[in-house]
Amino acid sequence: MIRRVQTGQGLNDALATGRLRVAHVVFFVMSATAPLTVVAGVLVTAYAVTGNTGLPIAFAAVAAVLAVFAVGYVATGRYLPHAGAIYAYVSHGIGRAPGVGAAWVALVAYNAIECSLYGAIGAAVSPLVENWVGVELPWPVYAIAAWALVAALGMARVDLNGGVLAVLLVCEVALIIVFDAAFLTRPVEGPAWSVWSVDRLSDPGFGALLAIAVLGYVGIEATVVFSEETREPRRTIPVAMYAAIAVTTAVYAVSAWAITAATGTSAIVTAATESGTDLVFDLIRGRLGPLAATAGHVLFATSIIAAMISFHNMTARYVYALGREGVLPRVFGRTSRSGAPVAGSAAQSLVGLAVITGFAAGGADPVVRLFYTFSTSGSLGVLILLVGAAMSVLGFFARDSRGEGIWRTRVAPSISLTALMVILVLVLANFGTLLGVAEDDPLRWGVPVAYLLTVVAGCVYAAVLRVRQPEVFRAIGLGGKSALERRRSPLTSEPRTSEPGTGGLR
């Protein structure tokens, strides 16, 4: 029979939500960041492509900026109806037109990151298959197999089970801690303190490393999604976000340092170029034996697949939310009977298939060109989104501080906006170095200009919507709650600024 609401207990308290605690949220958020994918894949390739050893300090710098950014970001998220997506911040904080621009950028960036993982999976799995079966297969075989798995799971609404993710995450982090300790206690040429020197900040191409550091934190912006399921969201969500940033930073920065110590500062770039994503596992084999190396390879593969599933679902939900709002065709707002955002999932899968086929046909290097170029390009998009989110926080509280203190509404958002702008400028100035291409390469300006055009296209599209379909325009940034805005009736004529869920959207 229906539960009674206890005396003195509000309806929201009586809801069976509020089960998640800090540790749960940190696990969910961190498992999407797939630490081993970043450490064994991104870090090593970054050393090879940029030739710069300042990665640890880049992670520390970006973490400091993100921690300040989180203050205003989390505070704003409490008032938004669709807090999981940065374009919703932009829609509410700056305006609906830039909101659509941000949504387009997010779609491009998340799709790029998802596609990049298809380039990495071959490199992760083929050594295992060669070792166990003795067959050497081309990378597109593994990529297509992983793609099919992710596409099927996405359609069937199978998300990764929280428990499985937690076990994988703990194993990954444990392995990373063990090899970091092994690398740092037996360095080749001393403990490589020089990677921490502030002199690295003035090294050519340091800006490129900041983009790589940002890439390591993609997924953390989703922390606010869990606020409805925590008992004390005002405490739990910020603590979880800071904890996730702190743990991720420790793992990445120390690993980047440890890998340098294991090869020697002078040899890291050559070693990374020669061994690629095998470098970490070769080092593990040398220091900890073949069993540990195999375990590492297996975890590398599961880590990439976990990241694929999580980015696939993230992209599919973005498409779904936009379909609900009517910003994308309504068909994208439908679900299958299993409750999966089918059309969004299928759209992401089609993009993935096209990219894999294109790269397989073109014969480009899957690790450097697909994995690295796509993920760093995606990282630039995420950085643009973070700048947009920081502006939105200022804009959101400028109209009404909602009783929040000046540190949350003005000071921290201003500091983080300035710092993120500096990072964006540095990344743009070093984008050629980041991609490892010449200054006159079409990609060097092509990728940034593509993002600019994406923003402009989104704004123009929103302007068209404003004239042609004002009811769709009004629902931008509401996600699932757009159904409430579309229904303009005498029931909703009351201003709903205080109504939970609509976030005081004007």
Q: Interface residues with another protein (CB under 8 A)? A: 1-5, 11-12, 14-17, 28, 82, 84, 157-162, 225-226, 228-229, 317, 320-321, 324, 333-341, 479-484, 486-487, 489-492, 494, 496, 499-501
**Nearer to another protein (CB atom), residue 338 or residue 357:** 338
Give the integer Cα–Cα distance in Å for 16 and 155. 28
- Nearest approach, Cβ of residue 481 and another protein (Å): 4
Short-list 445, 13, 70, 452, CA closest to 223? 70
Q: Least Å distance between CB 147 and another protein?
A: 21
Least Å distance, CB 498 to another protein, is 10
Minimum distance from residue 115 beta carbon to another protein (Å) = 23
| Residue 111 Cβ vs another protein, minimum distance, rounded to whole Å | 18
End-to-end CA distance of the chain: 40
Which C-beta is closer to another protein: that of 160 or that of 391?
160
Sign of torsion over alpha carbons 96, 388, 241, 71: negative
Residues 6+ apart with CB under 8 A from 202: none
Least distance in angstroms from the C-beta of 345 to another protein = 11
Total length of the chain: 506
Q: How far from 173 is each of 46, 98, 300, CA to CA, in Å?
A: 20, 38, 11
Closer to another protein by Cβ: residue 161 or 202: 161
- Minimum CB distance to another protein smaller for 14 or for 421: 14
User: In angstroms, rounded to a whole number, what is the distance separating the alpha carbons of residues 24 and 240?
Assistant: 9
3-state secondary structure of 192: coil
Shortest distance, position 310 Cβ to another protein, whole Å: 9
Residue 273 or residue 502: which is nearer to another protein going by CB?
502
Judge whether 88 and 82 are in contact, CB under 8 Å.
yes
- Compute the distance between CA of residue 391 and CA of residue 378 in angstroms, rounded to an integer: 20
Question: Are 280 and 179 a contacting pair, CB within 8 Å?
Answer: yes
CB of 484 to another protein, least distance (A): 5
Q: Which residue has the tokens 């699932």?
A: 480
Residue of 291, 269, 351 lying closest to 316 (CA atoms): 351
- Smaller CB separation from another protein, 14 or 406: 14
Reference 378, options 435, 440, 463; nearest CA is 435
Phi, psi at residue 230, to the nearest 5°? Answer: -110, 155
Nearer to another protein, 132 or 506 (CB): 506
Q: Which is nearer to another protein, 192 or 343 (CB)?
A: 343
Pick the closer one to another protein by CB: 4 or 468. 4
Nearest approach in angstroms of CB 344 to another protein is: 9
Q: What is the DSSP letter of 278?
A: G
Q: How many helices (H) and strands (E) does the chain have?
A: 22, 0
- Based on CB atoms, which residue is closest to another protein, 134 or 490? 490
Nearest to 63 by CA among 204, 251, 200: 251
Q: Residue 353 burial by CB count (10 A; 0-12/13-18/19+): exposed, middle or buried?
A: middle
Alpha carbons 319 and 477: distance in angstroms, whole number: 12
CB of 306 to another protein, least distance (A): 12
